[in-house]
A and B are shown apart, each in its own frame.
Chain A
Amino acid sequence: MPRTVTYKVGLVGHDKHKQDVPAVEQDLTVEIHEMDAEPWGREDTFRHVGHEVPRVDGAVKATGAAKYTYDINRPGLLVAGLVYSPHAHADIVSVDAGKAQGMAGVVAVKTFARGSAKYPGKIVAAICAESEQVLADALEAVEVTYKVKPGPAVTEDAMKDDAVVVDPRRKTNVGQPRRGPLVRGKPDDAFEGAEVVVQATYRTPIQTHSCLEPHGCVCEIHADGTATVWASTQATSFFANQQLTSALGLPRNKVRVITQHMGGGFGSKFSALEWDVLCAEFARETKRPVRMMLSRRLEHLVGGNRPDSIQALRLAGSKDGTIAALQGEVWGTSGNSSGGGAGAANFGVYTLPHLSMLQHGVATFSAKGRAFRAPRHPQGFYALESIIERYAYAAGVDALAVRLKNDKHPIRQVQWRIGAERIGWGKNRRKQPGSDKGPVKRGVGCASGRWGAAGRHTVGRNQLVFDVVVDKEGGVAFQNGVQDIGTGTRTVIAIIAAEELGLQPGDIDVRIGDTTYPPGPGSGGSTTAPSIGAAVRNGALRVKESLAGLLALQWGVDEAQLSWKDGVCHGPGDKQASFRSACSLIGEDGLRVQGRRMRNFQSAYGETAGCQFAQVAVDTETGVITVENVVAVHDCGRIIDTMTARSQVNGGVIQGISYALYEEKQTDRNLGDMVNPTFDTYRILGMQDCPPIDVVLTSVVSGYNNTGMMGLGEPATVPTAGAIANAVYNAIGVQVTDLPMTPARVLEALERRQG
Chain B
Amino acid sequence: MSDDAPQDAAARGLTRRALFKGAGAAAAAGAVFRSLDAAAKDDAAAGPPVQGPGKTAVTLQVNGTERKVEAEPRETLLQVLRLPLDLTGAKPVCDRGQCGACTVWLDGEPVYACNVLAVEAEGRKVTTVEGLGAPDDLHAVQDAFVQKDALQCGFCTPGLVMSAAWAVEQHGEDLTEEQAREACAGNLCRCGTYPHVLEAALAAAKHAKKGD
Contacts and interface: CB of A to CB of B under 8 A. Distances in A.
B3 A135 contact: yes
A263 B155 contact: yes
B83 interface: yes
A70 interface: yes
Interface in A129-173: 131-133, 135-137, 139-140, 142, 144
B1 A81 contact: yes
B129 A64 contact: yes
Given A646-B149, A678-B96, A687-B187, A692 B195 contact: yes
Contact of A650 (B1, B82, B147, B195): B195
A27 interface: no
Given A58-B145, A79-B1, A297-B8, A690 B153 contact: no
A50 to B, nearest CB: 15
Nearest to A716: B192
A539 interface: no
Contacts of A298: 4, 7
Interface stretch (A211-219, A495-503, A604-612): A211-219
A654 B94 CA distance: 20
A133 B74 contact: yes
Interface stretch (B31-39, B43-51, B85-93, B168-176): B85-93
B23 to A, nearest CB: 15
A647 B151 CA distance: 8
Contacts of B151: 55, 58, 61-62, 486
B108 interface: no
Interface string A57-94: 11111111111101101000001011110100000000
B146 interface: yes
Interface in A250-295: 261-264, 266, 291, 293-295
B7 A210 contact: no
A295 B191 contact: no
Interface residues of A, number: 78
A136 B191 contact: no
Contacts of B10: 83-84, 86, 142, 144
B81 to A, nearest CB: 10
Nearest to A695: B195
For the residues of B in contact with A, the DSSP-based class is loop
B190 A59 contact: no
B168 to A, nearest CB: 14
Given A62-B161, A687-B187, A690-B195, A132 B2 contact: yes
A462 interface: no
Contacts of B195: 650, 690, 692-693
Contacts, number: 227
A73 B94 contact: no
A83 B4 CA distance: 9
Contacts of A60: 135
Contacts of A679: 93-94, 98-99, 188
B156 interface: yes
A295 B74 contact: no
Given A63-B133, A293-B1, A295-B95, A212 B6 contact: no
A680 interface: yes
A264 B190 contact: yes
Contact of B135 (A65, A294, A688, A692): A65
Interface of B: 1-11, 15, 17-18, 72, 74-75, 79, 82-83, 86-96, 98-99, 101, 128-130, 132-136, 138, 142-143, 145-147, 149-158, 161, 181-182, 184-185, 187-198
Given A261-B154, A264-B155, 18 more contacts: A59-B135, A61-B151, A62-B138, A62-B142, A64-B129, A84-B7, A263-B153, A263-B155, A264-B190, A295-B1, A296-B94, A488-B152, A647-B196, A650-B195, A679-B99, A684-B188, A686-B187, A687-B185
17 contacts: A55-B151, A58-B149, A62-B161, A63-B132, A81-B4, A132-B3, A132-B83, A213-B93, A262-B153, A296-B93, A298-B7, A648-B152, A650-B196, A679-B99, A684-B188, A688-B182, A688-B185
